[in-house]
Structure formats: structure tokens, C-alpha cells
Structure 1
Amino acid sequence: MSVSILPIRIAAPVWMNDKGAFAMAQYKRITSYIIVAVIAALLGGGFVWGYSNKLAKNTPQGSGGSSANLAQLPSNGASISDARNTAVVRAAQQVGPAVVGITNKAYANDSREGKVLVEQGTGSGVIFDAQGHIATNYHVVQEAQEISVSLSDGRVVDGKVLGTDPATDLAVVKIDADNLPAATLGDSDSLLVGEPAIAIGNPLGLEFKGSVTAGVISALNRSIEIGDRKFKLIQTDAAINPGNSGGALVNADGLVVGINSAKIAVAGVEGIGFSIPINTARPILQSLIEKGKVIRPYLGIGVWDKNSAAQYGYSLNIDKGVYVAKLYKNGAAAKAGIKQGDVILKVAGTDTNTVADLRSVTDAQAVGSSVEVVIQRNDKTMTVTVTLEEMPEQQ
């Protein structure tokens, strides 16, 4: 700001006369003081105006203003700096309200009161649409006779299990309530090793509900065998403890990229947690909503590899492939001519050297599709075509 100092003309006072010399001297002295004061006021005022205007550009203006250096957080209306307003903070605020606590209740016999409803355990879940569908783990709701869902706003509502898939440890719970927050599902195929990962859930119970832990994506497509199935999982060093099961793994954009599972863990090891990729979970969750189960293809056989046979006290004299120990009558394999005692080497062009290998490649096919199966029978190798059928309930 430029300040112009205008000339000031002081008129002679009307009371001046011959006897007023002393008064005139006093008048001149006072006038000089006034001039200095006016100039100082103009300069000082201009300096203060310019500085305050500059300061105003870097100071929050309240609810109607804005600031380039400060961010407004919706939870309590307070402003914090960019240094504190990290991706973890934003992700926690965006997804945290959609993470719920799930209490599994079942009836137990009491010697005095008979059957009583008792709590079997608690876990986590993620509301993923406005209709109240919640993604969680199968083991969180396993054998539940009643489900209680604790929302982030303090409400507790009854839940209903729509469907479960033990093979992938996934389940869907439905609640009926108004004004439900819903998380947005992301794309787990786009994840990069080393990018931030945020886990949100209820470790060790509801007293620690809404806990946030942060780390990075440690690895992708980790192949973990559980039972006779092989899982492709996200590995993270964000802490995932009992009670976190069914909670959300979130990226720095606030998108859910995985469903955490404390069941799939390495005992006694810290910094290694696993999450089911959301792209794997998405079609399963949709199938559970629509059908209450997951439709999977079925070969109609029971097989052993070397390790599984040893668990039952048998020794297999095979170098590769899986041994057909059981053939279900009228199953897809039996219809294609496969026999008990055959060794399956490949399915749909993929080597099958373990039971988990066979499960994985079969699950990747569509019901009703035809696949080539390479078998070995009495030292002879042959290829048969099997039309896959829908897996029966008992399988």
C-alpha cells in the first residue's frame, strides 16, 4: 500500500493580536506536534492495514472462510494443519463410521435356568451399501443363533445372517436401520506394494471399537493354504488382532480394498496380517445376498496328495498330481470316464500337484463349462473332457 501525505495548511487563529506573541509561539509548537502525529498516524495505519491484510490471507476465517494451510475436519469442527490431516486421518473419518461390531450369540444349557442366550464372541463388519448389507468373516457369525450389531453412532440393532461361505471365510449380515453410513469398495487389483494400508475394526472386543492401525501393503497375492483350499491374500503390517476379523483394510484414498481376517494368521509372529482382496470378495458377497450361498463347480471326486494321504497313514507312490481316492456316482468326473485310482495331473492346463491346486483351478471355472483333464492311469497318460456341475450342498 502506498501512503500519500497531503500538504496541510494551518490558518492564523482569529484571536491573534500584538499582545499574543507568547500565544503564537505556543500555537506553532502545538501545530508541529499535530503535523507529526497526523503523519505518524497515516504511516502507522497504512502499515497495520497492509500487514493485517496479509495476515488475513493466512488465517482461518471461521465457518464461512477458507484457508490454504488449514483443513476442516467434520467430526468436531476443529481445524488442523496439513501435517496432521494425513491420509490415515481422512481414511479413518471416511470409513470408520461404516465399521461395526458384531456380537455372536447362541443358546447354552444352564443347570438352573435351562437354555440361556450367551455371547460366543465379537468381531467386526463393514456396511457396504445403504440397504444395510454388512461384509464380515464366516467365523465371526459361525453357529450364531442371534446377531447383535453395534453401530458407530451408539445404536445397537438386530442383524440377520443372509449367507455364509466357509470356503473363503466370508459372510453377509443384514440390518434394518435409517441413516446408515456406507463404505465405498475400491479396486484391490490396483494395489501397490509399499503403499499405505489402514486397518479399522474392534480388536479384542467392543471396548476397543473403531480402532485404527496403519502400515503398508507388504505383499500381494500371498498364497496361503488352509485345509484343502489355497487363498490369494493381501499381506500387511497394519496390526490385525482377534476382533478385527471382518473389519476393513483401507487405502489412502479411503476405499475398502480388503476384508481383514485374524483367523488367517501366523501364530507368534508380529507384523504379518492378511486380508481378503475386495475384488475376490465382491462377487462372493453379491452371491450371498442374492442366493444365500456361493455356486461353485464340482468334479465329483475325493482326492489325496502326498501330504494329505500321510495325515491318514497312507503313503502315495506318486511324484506329481493328485490321487483319486473316491469317485461320486453320477458326478461330473464319473460321467467323463475318470476312475478311482487315477492320478489327475492337470485341469484346464494348470498343474494340480496338491489338493489346494485342484480346488483353486476348479473354483476358477464356471458351472456348466467343459474343461480338459489330464490323467495318468496304469502308466498311461490320457486327456478327458469334463463338464463341470454345481456343487451339492453337502459338498
Structure 2
Amino acid sequence: MGVEQHELPVRTEPEKPKKSHVWQYLLVGLVGALIGGLLVVTVMPQVIVNKIASLEIAAPVSGNSTGNNDSSPVLTLTSSLSGDPWQVVVDAAEKVSPSVVCIVNTQTAYDFFGREYLRETSGSGFIITEDGYIVTNNHVVSGTSRKLTVFLSDGSSKEAEIVGTDPATDLAVIKIEGSGLPTAVFGDSDSLKPGQLAIAIGNPLGIEFNRSVTVGVISGLDRVLSVGDSYMRLIQTDAVINPGNSGGPLVNAKGEVVGVNSVKLNVTAVEGMGFAIPSNQVKRIAEELIDTGKVKRAYLGISFMDKSEVRYYMPNVQIDQGVYVVEVVSGGPADKAGIRKGDIIVEFDGRKINDAGSLMAYLAEKSPGAKVSIKLIRQNKTREVEVVLGEAPSS
């Protein structure tokens, strides 16, 4: 008898699942990313810098271009970008820093019980002549000063005397004894453009942090703000200006002083808004203070209202721009030029007048005897007159 054979099912041990290689892939990816990142950070900047350093920029041909000739003059950038891109700041700081001083003002003060004591405040300044004339802010040297002490870059200190002050522009000139002192050179503030390099040098919080250098750009020009006893046209910068920087120089890439650091907006919601007095104004005022001990003010001979005041006090007067002439001094410069009560001044020597502060600021930049053109509106017609400015009466 045959026996029917059946294949018995063979129970085999289930296969172990193969280990996933996902983590291996992730690890390789992370290592690759890390290496790539290091290459970008360390190698690419130098590659880019080298490329820029040899970059050729094609400029369009003006004038006698003919036919299909596409040849254009090529401007090659030969800057020192292949080196330290901050070297220009280093060079400017090294040029100006020796002339920057720390000024300590020892003043008389009184406590709650009327007892006298001495307190010290400090600020910055910079030497403009080899025999020791120093420019600073008026508020650095003002008050019941007992003594002014100037700390020089070589570590020495000297007592200073006040040559002259100008509260209207918050400028002052003081003098120390000396010869062959390091000096700063003024640049042309009228040639500044937004975006240009700006370097602030000074003594924030006092001599402990003397000759600190901060860097930014020229953020804006013609910012009219109230400074001292008047209005001024200022340079705006985001170079950090801290307490103690007042009176220090704002410097351009050439190591020239283009402004005197004076004001910082101290508002919680605002950062990086510092202001400097333009060097062209500083130079003129400093020269007058050295020569005569005072500053002569230009005089127009009118009283005027801002357009916002006119709308409030004179609602029947239509004014959308400029300032409204309320009164003209008989026989004064404006009167002689033909300016009349009720005129609306919209331009002063080529600059638009937006408000009373603007007119005051632009007038403050002029000297007695200067000729200026004034554009005004009278009975809806635009006129232009020339005024020879007088000298303001002494207050």
C-alpha cells in the first residue's frame, strides 16, 4: 500500500527587519551642511572681496559714440578691499584721535540744605590749533564752573580757560597752553551725502572710556531741531553718541571733521538717532569766538508765525506753506527789500521754508552783510526779493 506523502509546512523563524539607515543619512547630511557652512563663512567672503577688488564697471559712452561700436570706457575699482575692509576707519581714527580731548568741568553745586559742594561733569572736544584752541559744546563748559581740566591723548592734563561761548548754537571755544599740539582738520559739511561713512570719537561716560570710536553712516541732512537757545540745521547719524560724546568730532572717511556731536534723541522707541552740528557752521563760529569772543548774528527785521499758528489764530488766512510775516521792522533789512506784512515766505536763499524753525535755522547760518534771495507769496503771486542782512541787536 502506498503511503501518500504530504509536505509538512516548515515554520521558519521570521526575518529580523533590517535596521533603518535614516539616521545615517541624517548624520551625513548634517556633517555636509556643517562643512558647507564653514566654507561659505570662511572662504566665500574672501572670494567676493577679491572679485569686487578687481571688478570692472562699464560706463556708457557720452558724446561721440558712433555706429555699432559697443566699446565703453571701463572703470576699474582698485580699492584695498582685498585687505581689512575696516582699515579706512582705523586710518581715520588714528588721524583724528590724538586731537580729541576729555574736558572735566568742576562746578559749584548746593545740596538740599544749601551746603556748597563741588561736582564734576565731563564731555569731549578737539584741538583745532597747535597752540591749544579747542572746540566743544557750550553745555560741556557752562554752569558755575570753578575749573576746566583738559586731558590730552598723551596722558597729560592742563587747565583751560573759556575763550567764548555761543548758547544759540551750543558751541564754545576753550584754550590750553601749549605748542605743537596735534590738531584736527575741518572738512566740507555741505558736500556730505546720506550713506557716507560717519565716525564718532569721544569720551562716553568720562575719561575711563576715552577716545571711543563708533561707526555708522550719514543718515540724513538738513534736520532742523532746537539746539541751545535756537534752531539749527543738523547732520543725522546712526554712529553711537552717548553721554560724554558731546563736543567730540564726527569724522568722514578722509579723517576730516564734518560735525560736532551734540544731540541724541533719548526716546524709548527710537534707536540710532544722533545729531551733529555741521562743520562749516562750527568753523565760522569758532573763528569769530577766537577773534572777538562773541558771535555776530544776522538780522532780517521781521516777526513771523508758523503756518500751524496762523491756522489757529488767523483762520481766515489761507496758508499751505512757509511762514506768515506778522510785522516788518521799519527801516530794517526786510523793509528795505520790500517785504510787507502779510507776505508768506516760502524760500530763503534757495532753501524751502516749511516752518518757523527752518527760517530761524537758515538765518542763523548767515553773517551780517550777507545777501540772500527770499521767495514769497503776496496776494497769490510769487515774488523774489534780495535782502542784505543786518546785524542783530545785542541782547
Instruction: Please give the TM-score of this superposition, normalised by the length of structure 1.
Output: 0.65
- How has the CA–CA distance of structure 1 residues 271 and 347 changed in structure 2, closer, same or farther, with 3 Å as cutoff? closer
Q: What SS is found at the alignment partner of 2:267? A: coil
> Does residue 1:229 correspond to 2:247, yes or no?
no
Q: What SS is found at the alignment partner of 2:125? A: strand
Q: What SS is found at the alignment partner of 1:240? A: coil
1:357-376 deviation line (CA, Å, top 9, x unaligned): 32244345552355565666
Unmatched runs of 5 consecutive residues or more in structure 2: 1-82
- How has the CA–CA distance of structure 1 residues 104 and 303 changed in structure 2, closer, same or farther, with 3 Å as cutoff? farther
Tell me the equivalent position of 1:99. Answer: 100
Tell me the equivalent position of 1:134. Answer: 134
> Does residue 1:286 correspond to 2:295, yes or no?
no
Q: How far is 1:383 from its partner?
A: 6.6
- Correspondences of 1:189-204 after superposition (within 5 Å): 189-191=190-192, 193-204=194-205
**Is the CA contact (8 Å cut-off) linking 2:371 and 2:386 kept in structure 1?**
yes
Q: Which amino acid aligns with 1:246?
A: G
Tell me the equivalent position of 2:356. Answer: 355
**Is the CA contact (8 Å cut-off) linking 1:104 and 1:144 kept in structure 2?**
no
Superposed CA RMSD in Å reads: 3.4
Q: How far is 1:95 from its partner?
A: 1.9
- How has the CA–CA distance of structure 1 residues 104 and 300 changed in structure 2, closer, same or farther, with 3 Å as cutoff? farther
Tell me the equivalent position of 2:306. Answer: 305
Distance in 1 (alpha carbons) for counterparts of 2:332 and 2:107: 37
- How has the CA–CA distance of structure 1 residues 302 and 111 changed in structure 2, closer, same or farther, with 3 Å as cutoff? same
Distance in 2 (alpha carbons) for counterparts of 1:259 and 1:272: 15
Q: Which amino acid aligns with 1:226?
A: S
Distance in 2 (alpha carbons) for counterparts of 1:333 and 1:366: 15
- How has the CA–CA distance of structure 1 residues 376 and 122 changed in structure 2, closer, same or farther, with 3 Å as cutoff? same
- Correspondences of 1:140-289 after superposition (within 5 Å): 140-145=140-145, 146-191=147-192, 193-215=194-216, 217-226=217-226, 229-233=231-235, 235-261=236-262, 263-265=263-265, 267-268=267-268, 269-289=270-290
1:333-382 deviation line (CA, Å, top 9, x unaligned): 35556555554445556554421232244345552355565666677877
**Is the CA contact (8 Å cut-off) linking 1:136 and 1:259 kept in structure 2?**
yes
Q: What SS is found at the alignment partner of 2:208? A: helix
- How has the CA–CA distance of structure 1 residues 264 and 303 changed in structure 2, closer, same or farther, with 3 Å as cutoff? farther
Distance in 1 (alpha carbons) for counterparts of 2:194 and 2:382: 42
Q: Which amino acid aligns with 2:131?
A: Q
1:224-271 deviation line (CA, Å, top 9, x unaligned): 3327634141x332211111011122233333232212x243623222
Identity of aligned residues (%): 45
Distance in 2 (alpha carbons) for counterparts of 1:323 and 1:299: 14
Distance in 1 (alpha carbons) for counterparts of 2:341 and 2:193: 45
> Does residue 1:125 correspond to 2:125, yes or no?
yes
Q: Which amino acid aligns with 1:203?
A: P
Distance in 2 (alpha carbons) for counterparts of 1:282 and 1:188: 10
Q: What SS is found at the alignment partner of 1:293? A: coil
Instruction: Please give the TM-score of this superposition, normalised by the length of structure 2.
Output: 0.65
**Is the CA contact (8 Å cut-off) linking 1:374 and 1:384 kept in structure 2?**
yes
Distance in 1 (alpha carbons) for counterparts of 2:193 and 2:276: 15
Tell me the equivalent position of 2:21. Answer: none
Tell me the equivalent position of 1:367. Answer: 368
Task: Count the aligned residue pairs.
Answer: 307
- How has the CA–CA distance of structure 1 residues 135 and 349 changed in structure 2, closer, same or farther, with 3 Å as cutoff? closer
Distance in 1 (alpha carbons) for counterparts of 2:163 and 2:251: 24
Q: Which amino acid aligns with 1:90?
A: D
Q: Which amino acid aligns with 2:302?
A: I
- How has the CA–CA distance of structure 1 residues 331 and 108 changed in structure 2, closer, same or farther, with 3 Å as cutoff? farther
Q: How far is 1:275 from its partner?
A: 2.3
Q: How far is 1:89 from its partner?
A: 3.0
Q: How far is 1:100 from its partner?
A: 0.8
Q: How far is 1:199 from its partner?
A: 1.5
Q: How far is 1:127 from its partner?
A: 0.8
Tell me the equivalent position of 1:4. Answer: none
Unmatched runs of 5 consecutive residues or more in structure 1: 1-81
Q: What SS is found at the alignment partner of 1:303? A: strand
**Is the CA contact (8 Å cut-off) linking 1:323 and 1:343 kept in structure 2?**
yes
Q: Which amino acid aligns with 1:284?
A: I
Distance in 2 (alpha carbons) for counterparts of 1:163 and 1:89: 33
**Is the CA contact (8 Å cut-off) linking 1:301 and 1:328 kept in structure 2?**
yes
Q: Which amino acid aligns with 1:229?
A: Y
Q: How far is 1:179 from its partner?
A: 4.9
Distance in 1 (alpha carbons) for counterparts of 2:188 and 2:349: 27
- How has the CA–CA distance of structure 1 residues 254 and 364 changed in structure 2, closer, same or farther, with 3 Å as cutoff? closer
- How has the CA–CA distance of structure 1 residues 186 and 350 changed in structure 2, closer, same or farther, with 3 Å as cutoff? closer
- How has the CA–CA distance of structure 1 residues 297 and 273 changed in structure 2, closer, same or farther, with 3 Å as cutoff? same
Q: What SS is found at the alignment partner of 2:282? A: helix
1:116-139 deviation line (CA, Å, top 9, x unaligned): 5433x2110011220111111222
- How has the CA–CA distance of structure 1 residues 203 and 358 changed in structure 2, closer, same or farther, with 3 Å as cutoff? same
Distance in 2 (alpha carbons) for counterparts of 1:318 and 1:230: 28
Q: Which amino acid aligns with 1:149?
A: V
Distance in 1 (alpha carbons) for counterparts of 2:385 and 2:85: 62
- How has the CA–CA distance of structure 1 residues 240 and 335 changed in structure 2, closer, same or farther, with 3 Å as cutoff? same
Q: How far is 1:389 from its partner?
A: 0.8
1:289-308 deviation line (CA, Å, top 9, x unaligned): 11223323201222211345
**Is the CA contact (8 Å cut-off) linking 1:306 and 1:315 kept in structure 2?**
no
Q: How far is 1:390 from its partner?
A: 0.6
Distance in 1 (alpha carbons) for counterparts of 2:158 and 2:144: 15
Q: How far is 1:328 from its partner?
A: 4.5
Tell me the equivalent position of 1:321. Answer: 322
**Is the CA contact (8 Å cut-off) linking 1:222 and 1:231 kept in structure 2?**
yes
Q: Which amino acid aligns with 1:252?
A: A
Q: What SS is found at the alignment partner of 2:153? A: coil
Distance in 1 (alpha carbons) for counterparts of 2:307 and 2:289: 34
